[in-house]
Structure 1
Amino acid sequence: MTDVIRDIAEIDDDRPRDHRPVVREAAQSAYDALFAVPLDDPVPGVGRDLRHLIAARAAWLEGDRSAADWYLARTGGVADAADLAVGGADGAAGVRAGRRLRAALRHVDALVTRPASTTADDLAGLVAAGWSAAEIVVLGQIVGLVSYQVRVAQALRVQDDLFGHEIHEEGSR
């Protein structure tokens, strides 16, 4: 089974998470629920590739290159995905993007960099660009999940740097 957090943390051993297997499973289930988009998805306007692009942008803004790259590798058919993830709505690719995508990228930026200052006007801008309420919720859920994943992955990296040799030695006893 895939473990996205372990993958983006790029560590060999994440035994510190073993004491709460339900939390590990829930984090992976949240990813699966948001990104394993079935053909009959009730929110079809946010396809799998776009969801991964949104996640890559959020990870980039969170400062986690590994997570951004992991999500970018899954953007499939999104043209200029790397440029969109790094430059956002105001980058070279973003300026050429359609209104709907630009609005989504701006929304991701707001949720990551200034979540407390978003307003109803921000949501009205998304609606004006063609996003439905359900689609806007999905965008927010993706940003929230990525934020969580990035924080856990960073903690695992730090633990691996500090205690990695001790963890590996415990496993060999």
Structure 2
Amino acid sequence: MPPADPVELERLARDSLLAPVPGLNRDDLLRVAAHAAAISGAAELAAGYADLIGPSAPPSHEALLAYAERLTADSVTPDDLAGLRDAGFGTAAIVALSQLVAFVSYEVRVAAGLRALGGAR
């Protein structure tokens, strides 16, 4: 069996993390991904996610973006989780958000590493 294509594996992982879960649609998840990338300083990645948001998508719930920001800064507290629950988000949504923000953080680091390797030539 040939080795897996890392680019294809990354695309499959991203697609699975952007799949709707109870309480969150794809546009919500894309908005969270764009926000997490933007606050990490990855403007191009943020724009890539933002470009995928549907034209008629309603704004994301502010609690989602606040959670993404706190998680990106590694400062989530039990109160943040309670805030999401109070806003109507269940366990599946909270786990999906957490996984997505972690994945965006991974993408930001991979991009930074590739830029550093390109600059070392």
TM bucket normalised to smaller: 0.7 to 0.9
Q: Tell me how far apart the structure 1 counterparts of residues 80 and 108 of structure 2 sit (CA, whole Å).
A: 25
- Alignment of structure 1 residues 78-97 onto 2, 5 Å: 78-79=57-58
For the aligned residue pairs, the C-alpha RMSD in angstroms reads 2.0
2:28 is aligned to 50
Q: Structure 2: which 5+ residue stretches go unaligned?
A: none
TM-score normalised by structure 2 residue count: 0.86
Q: Report the counterpart of residue 65 of structure 1 in structure 2.
A: 43
Cα distance between partner residues in 2 of 1:73 and 1:24: 20
Deviation at residue 55 of structure 1 after TM alignment: 0.3
Q: Quote how far apart the aligned CAs of 1:21 are.
A: 4.6
Aligned twin of 2:117: 159
Query: More helix by proportion, 1 or 2?
Result: 1
Counterpart Cα distance in 2 of 1:122 and 1:128 = 10
Shift of 1:23: 4.4
Tell me, in whole angstroms, the C-alpha distance in 1 between the residues paired with 2:43 and 2:50: 10
* Residue-pair matches, total: 118
**Letter of the structure 2 residue corresponding to residue 109 of structure 1:** E
Paired residue for 2:104?
A: 146
Q: Give, as a single letter, the amino acid of the residue that structure 1 aligns with 2:32.
A: I
From 16, 33, 51, the counterpart of 1:33: 16
Q: Give the aligned partner of residue 107 of structure 1.
A: 67
Between Structure 1 and Structure 2, whose CA radius of gyration is higher?
1
